[in-house]
C-alpha cells in the first residue's frame, strides 16, 4: 500500500514539476514574440486610419446592359462624370453626375418584321444619383485599400432622341443601383477607386407596339405582353479623387 501511495505521489510530483516548468518558460518567453503572434506592432500595422475630409472624384467608365425584349433601350457607351464624396466614419455618402455616349435602335411597327429594326442611333444619357456606402474595413484602410458595398438612387435623363414613328421615347427614368468597389490611397490627399454598379431602370413601351399593320404581320409585342419592363445595366468606372 505504501509503495502504491508513493508511486502516486511521485506521479503527481512529476506532473506538477512539468506544469511549473512550462509556466516558467511562458513567463520568460520574449513578449515581442507573443505580440507578433497575436497582433501587429502599431508602427508596422497594415491598418491605418482613413484620410479625413471630403473628396472630388473624376470618373471614367463604360455602361452596357440589356436593351429590353423589343431592343430599343439605350446602352453601350463610354461615360464620364464627377462625384462629391463625404465620409462619416465607416459610412460614406456621395452625389454624382455622369454623361454617357450611349445609343439605341428604332423599331417601326408599321412595316414588315424583317425591316422593322434600324440603327443604332446616338441617344446619350445623363445619370444623376445619391449613394450610401459601407466601408468593409471600418474606419481603417488595409495596406492603403478600403473595399466597400452600397447602393444608389437616382435618375437617368435621355438626350436628343432619334426620330421614332412608334412614339417611343426613353424620357426620364428612376434608377436603382447596388454597387461595390475599392478605394486605394497611395498618398494622403490622392485616391484611386474602382467601382461596379448594376443600374436598374424600367422601360415603358407605346401602345403602337401592339397595333397590327395593314398586312396582318405579327405585332412587335404580343397582346398579352406588359408595356413596361425592367432592364439591368452593368456600369464599371475608374475614379481619381482629391481629398481636401
Cβ contacts of residue 38 below 8 Å, gap of 6+? none
Domain ranges for the chain, please list them.
Answer: 2-42, 54-243
Cα separation, 142 vs 123, whole angstroms: 42
CATH no. for 54-243: 2.40.160.20
Q: Over its length of 244 residues, how does the chain's per-residue pLDDT go in tens digits?
A: 434 434 443 454 445 445 434 433 333 334 334 334 345 555 568 877 878 889 999 999 999 999 999 999 999 999 999 999 999 988 999 999 999 999 999 999 998 898 999 999 999 999 999 999 999 998 888 888 999 999 999 999 999 999 999 999 999 999 999 999 999 999 889 999 999 999 999 999 999 999 887 778 899 999 999 999 999 999 999 999 999 9
pTM as predicted: 0.78
Spatial distance between the Cα atoms of 148 and 93, rounded to a whole number of angstroms:
12
Q: In DSSP terms, which residues pair with 18 in a beta bridge?
A: none
What distance separates the 2 farthest-apart alpha carbons in the chain? Answer: 117
CB 184 within 8 A of CB 192: yes
Amino acid at each position: 500500500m505504501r509503495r502504491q501511495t508513493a508511486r502516486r505521489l511521485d506521479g503527481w510530483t512529476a506532473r506538477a514539476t512539468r506544469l511549473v516548468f512550462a509556466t516558467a518558460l511562458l513567463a520568460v518567453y520574449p513578449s515581442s514574440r507573443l505580440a507578433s503572434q497575436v497582433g501587429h506592432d502599431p508602427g508596422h500595422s497594415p491598418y491605418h486610419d482613413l484620410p479625413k475630409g471630403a473628396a472630388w472624384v473624376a470618373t471614367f467608365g463604360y455602361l452596357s446592359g440589356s436593351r429590353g425584349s423589343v431592343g430599343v433601350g439605350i446602352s453601350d457607351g463610354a461615360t464620364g462624370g464627377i462625384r462629391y464624396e463625404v465620409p462619416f466614419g465607416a459610412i460614406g455618402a456621395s452625389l454624382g453626375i455622369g454623361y454617357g455616349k450611349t445609343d439605341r435602335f428604332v423599331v417601326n411597327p408599321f412595316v414588315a418584321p424583317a425591316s422593322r429594326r434600324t440603327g443604332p442611333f446616338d441617344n446619350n444619357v445623363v445619370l444623376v444619383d445619391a449613394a450610401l456606402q459601407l466601408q468593409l474595413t471600418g474606419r481603417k484602410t488595409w495596406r492603403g485599400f478600403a473595399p466597400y458595398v452600397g447602393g444608389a438612387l437616382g435618375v437617368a435623363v435621355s438626350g436628343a432622341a432619334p426620330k421614332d414613328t412608334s412614339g417611343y421615347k426613353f424620357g426620364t427614368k428612376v434608377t436603382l443601383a447596388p454597387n461595390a468597389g475599392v478605394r486605394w490611397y497611395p498618398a494622403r490627399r490622392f485616391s484611386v477607386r474602382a467601382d461596379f454598379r448594376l443600374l436598374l431602370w424600367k422601360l415603358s413601351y407605346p401602345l403602337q407596339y401592339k397595333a397590327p399593320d395593314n398586312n396582318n404581320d405579327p405585332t412587335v409585342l404580343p397582346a398579352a405582353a406588359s408595356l413596361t419592363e425592367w432592364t439591368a445595366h452593368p456600369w464599371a468606372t475608374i475614379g481619381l479623387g482629391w481629398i481636401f
